Structure 1
Amino acid sequence: MSDLSQSMSASVSGMKSQAARLRLVSENIANTDTPGYRRKTAAFENIWQAGQKTGDVKLGDVKLSQMALERVYDPSHPMADETGHYDGSNVDLVVEIADAREAQRSYEANLRMFDQARQMSSSLRELLRR
């Protein structure tokens, strides 16, 4: 595989991984007020082929945060215990918004890298035609 093809492949895998990460962040934000919801996280993993790193990445297994759930006082809530508390979610909107911005910017950086490699490949073909 040529260097340009490898860089384009790495960019595509990065964009796919960041899109999957953004879906997780979106789920977390959507469930901020869901009682008992635990924040979902996933780490990036290198892709190996024939015992060597390919330069591509993927989003690893989804894990649930083990942070303590927020205790919410609302005696009128159907899930409230005898003290009037129930377990809320452990999603922090500030963290989720920061993760979303980071994923978006990383996606855009991979998109620019893909576009640059595509332009270089096109320019190379033009040079070879002459």
Structure 2
Amino acid sequence: MNDFIGSLAVSASGLKAQAQRLRHLSENIANADTPGYRRKTVSFETAFGGSQNTGEVTVGRVNLDRRAPERVYDPGHPLADETGHHDGSNVDLMIEIADAREAQRSYEANLKMFDQARQMSASLMDLLRR
């Protein structure tokens, strides 16, 4: 039964990590037109239970993308310099949408694994009751 609990914990940690990744991706998409906004990226780390590798993942630090922001020519913008340019964001919507789709698929895979472990555990309990 301990293996079932372990597999549920691994898939639950994956669900939590991908949900947080999707939250940051949606923030990036929402702020794509915000001047000076820097894209946020999330890294995953292996979780350790004591000195053991549990197979679970956690979300590491949230990092800001180091790419230079897009220079936008808009002389009427309040942030424009003497040349009429200001810093836009460094968010590329195509990359964000592709990352969101990848995170969604990973979330669905973890959800399927969680459901399979739950069904196997329920089937085992039914067999033990007989």
Specify if TM > 0.5: yes
The equivalent residue for 1:116 is: 116
Summarize deviations over 1:7-66 as a string: whole Å, max 9, x none: 111010000000000000000000000000000001100101111111110111101011
Tell me the residue number matched to 1:48.
48
Counterpart of 1:106 in structure 2 is 106
The amino acid of 2:50's aligned partner reads A
Question: For residue 119 of structure 1, what is the amino acid of its counterpart?
Answer: Q
Matches within 5 A, 1:38-77: 38-77=38-77
Number of positions where the alignment pairs a residue of Structure 1 with one of Structure 2 = 130
The equivalent residue for 2:91 is 91
Distance 1:42 1:113 in 2: 23
Distance in 2 (alpha carbons) for counterparts of 1:42 and 1:49:
22
Aligned residues: CA RMSD: 0.8
Quote the Cα distance in structure 1 between the aligned partners of 2:107 and 2:42.
16
What's the CA shift string for 1:54-88, capped at 9, x where partnerless? 11101111010110110000001110000000000
What's the counterpart of residue 19 of structure 1?
19
4+ runs deviating over 6 angstroms: none
Amino acid at match of 1:14: G
Match of 1:80 in 2: 80
Separation of aligned partners in 2, 1:107 and 1:49:
23
What is the percent sequence identity of the aligned residues?
68
Most deviating of 47-56 and 93-102: 47-56
Paired position in structure 2 for 1:4: 4
Residue 75 of structure 1 aligns to a residue in which SS?
A: coil
Unaligned runs of 5+ in 2: none
Please give the secondary structure, in 2, of the residue aligned with 1:97.
helix
Paired amino acid for 1:100: A
Q: Distance in 1 between matches of 2:83 and 2:107?
A: 46
